[in-house]
Amino acid sequence: MLYTQAPKATRTWVDCPQPRPDASVKLICLPHAGASPRAFYPWVDDLPESVELMPVCLAGRAGRMDEPLAESIEKIVAPLARAVSPLIEGRVVFFGHSLGALLAVELVFELRRRGLRLPQLLVVSGRMVPGAERRLKVHTLPDRHLVREVQRIYGGIPREILVEPAMLKRTLPILRADLSVNETYEPAHQERPLECSLLALGGTDDPHVTGTELEMWRDQTTAHFDCAQFQGGHFYLSSPEGQRWVIARIMRAIEAVSA
């Protein structure tokens, strides 16, 4: 189904900054904690015309500012599965970084439980396999301490937000809710390996996910698997070079699973 023909619920959950009706691949991207669909907008210029970018928009941000923030993964995955399912036909790729990787894999599990079509390729970045994460409790901290700890542990809050009190005030509730989703997550089911291909990516200097831990994703699929790292920390993909590398790895993986 073309994005422009998708139901309203689908277009509420899924953004499309540059519709490409002739594209042969749909790239559905799930954001890291605190991010909106705009985090992926710079990808448009580096993606080939054959790929249509579709970043997910969670409640409480962008065009959904008036909706209550979700603080648990259950409140996201079930309605998101219903929303994205009309788009899953032909070649579809899910990509998620950090919290987005967790949302992406749980979304695939939810689609499978509902007997719906799955993406051809799942790409996870900056994340350990579900259930193996180190437990942190940052989301309960007071605002000032939360910002300090997020920057210390992960980095990634843009400087323009940190130095602008009004922007920081708007961002903090979103960040706190997303951290709650991340930090209260417990695998609800003992899932068998996925049937779709899987690509695991990360930064060489990411203290949260080592190369060995990225390799653990191999056991999460019965299909094609690949794993790679790029120079950098947890937000290695934030640089133009990191962004282009991620896109190149995704395109290579699409070619491999389509051969």
Catalytic residue numbers read 98, 234
Give Cβ neighbours of residue 164 (< 8 Å, ≥ 6 apart).
none
CA distances for 29 relative to 15, 61, 100, 113, 258, angstroms:
10, 15, 8, 21, 20
Other beta carbons within 10 Å of 232: 18
Sign of the Cα pseudo-torsion (90, 223, 54, 62, in order): positive
**Own/partner pairs, 64-69, CB within 8 angstroms, 24+ separation:** 64/12, 69/173, 69/174, 69/177
Residue 131's closest CA among 208, 189, 206? 189
Q: Report how far residue 99's alpha carbon sits from residue 3's, in angstroms, rounded to the nearest whole number.
A: 25
Q: Report how far residue 108's alpha carbon sits from residue 154's, in angstroms, rounded to the nearest whole number.
A: 26
User: Residue 120 carries which DSSP code?
Assistant: S
Q: Report how far residue 149's alpha carbon sits from residue 171's, in angstroms, rounded to the nearest whole number.
A: 15
Q: Report how far residue 159's alpha carbon sits from residue 68's, in angstroms, rounded to the nearest whole number.
A: 26
Residue 117's closest CA among 169, 141, 82? 82
Beta bridge partners of 195: none
Beta bridge partners of 124: 96, 200
